[in-house]
Amino acid sequence: MKRIWFVLLLTVVGVNIKAQQLPQYTQYILNPLLINPAVSGIENYTDAKAGYRSQWTGLQGAPVTSYFTITAPLGRNFVDGDALQVPADGDNPIGRSFVRTYRAAEPHHGIGLTMLTDKAGPIRQTYINATYAYHIGLTSNLNLSAGLSGGFNNVNLNINEVILEYPLDAAVYNGNNSQYKLNVGAGVWAYSANYFAGLSVQQFLPQTLDFAKDSHYNQGKTVPHYYLTGGVKFFLSDDVSLLPSVMYKLIQPSQNTVDVNLKLAFRDHFWIGGSYRQDDAVAGMMGFTIDSFLSLGYSYDYTTSNLNTVSTGTHEIVVGIHLNNKGNSGSQRMF
């Protein structure tokens, strides 16, 4: 009985030891839709991304996450005539000249879809969420968007991967090993050409995880995850930019954590970066853009916690496809 609760503690309660239930991402700066629905439709083209993350490689049963997201704007004035559509200097759509001529976006709607699978030990969680946001200009160069997400997640416990002291353990035997839970989130996002700030919540409505028929064993619950993010872009030259960013995560009852990223980009072609996650890992990152259609990003995390004795690190890959991108920008212009 003790063994099954130890497994559930490490898998249901979190993908890290501090009780985070949702996956974490080193390259969150490349796809903030994963944590904040308010960025839905932030670009004037359809933005699709796929990612794969293998956490704590070498540790049996460690989390493995894969996802697909897609988002697009709605509103002809924004898609066909917004100031974001044409690069300011005709060559570098995220350069210093773009910042000087930036104008707030036309009011418009944005929609999106996120699909994610996360497997940790014997538990697999699958999330499917639709997202929506509305964008308005607060000033001539400052935008504000508010968004919602809604959908469900399926929690599946593979009993064949659980070693029980007693084969008929009431905690899992003949119980509800595959269940669907409602998932609701919300967020706001303020952004301009060279800075952004966002606040969001996921799993806003706590749900009971009831694997056993006997309610005595059903003590697990999902908990809200709050994210506070922000970043500022500095120009070292007309074509070289430096983007420090931070993400603060509040997940009760676990300890609050901070992720700090630094990204150095040359034009819209190539970037390198580093990341620090409090009490967990340091990471190196790199990526590049092919024309205006395809972007690739890779990161490697070196574990700094006690898990580094059994783990060889974490690998994460992000692939972006940008449909109908007229601005010659293969990534989000802010990022």
- 335 residues of the chain, pLDDT tens digit each: 334 333 444 444 333 334 567 898 999 989 999 999 999 999 888 999 999 999 988 888 889 999 999 999 998 778 765 444 444 444 566 667 677 778 888 899 999 999 999 998 888 999 999 999 999 999 988 999 999 999 999 988 887 777 777 666 666 666 667 888 899 999 999 999 889 999 999 999 888 777 666 666 666 788 899 999 999 999 998 889 999 999 999 988 777 889 999 999 998 789 999 999 988 899 999 999 887 789 999 999 999 988 878 888 999 999 999 888 765 443 345 55
Per the domain annotation, does 203 fall within a domain?
yes
Cis peptide before 253 (omega within 30 of 0): yes
Per the domain annotation, does 281 fall within a domain?
yes
Q: pLDDT value at position 160?
A: 76
Q: Which of 86, 79, 69 is nearest to 108 (CA)?
A: 79
Per the domain annotation, does 98 fall within a domain?
yes
CA distance 139 to 153: 38
Q: Are 144 and 138 in contact (CB under 8 A)?
A: yes
Q: Write the single-letter amino acid at 15.
A: V
Per the domain annotation, does 245 fall within a domain?
yes
Residue with tokens 């709050």: 226
Determine phi and psi for 28, rounding to 5 degrees.
-60, -25
CA distance 12 to 17: 11
Determine phi and psi for 4, rounding to 5 degrees.
-65, -40
- pTM of the predicted structure, to 2 decimals: 0.85
Per the domain annotation, does 331 fall within a domain?
no
How do strand 208-209 and strand 220-221 relate by DSSP bridges? Answer: antiparallel
Q: pLDDT value at position 1?
A: 38
* Other C-beta atoms lying within 10 Å of the C-beta of residue 246: 14
What b-and-e string marks burial along 15-51, b requiring 16 or more CB atoms within 10 Å of the CB? bbbbbbbbbbbbbbbbbbbbbbbbbbbbbbbbbbbbb
Q: pLDDT value at position 217?
A: 61
Per the domain annotation, does 92 fall within a domain?
yes
- CATH number, domain at 127? 2.40.160.40
How do strand 270-277 and strand 281-290 relate by DSSP bridges? Answer: antiparallel
Per the domain annotation, does 31 fall within a domain?
yes
Total domains present in the chain: 1
Per the domain annotation, does 332 fall within a domain?
no
Domain membership of residue 122 as a residue range: 2-323
Q: pLDDT value at position 172?
A: 66
Q: Residue 204 has what DSSP assignment? A: -
CA distance 175 to 83: 56
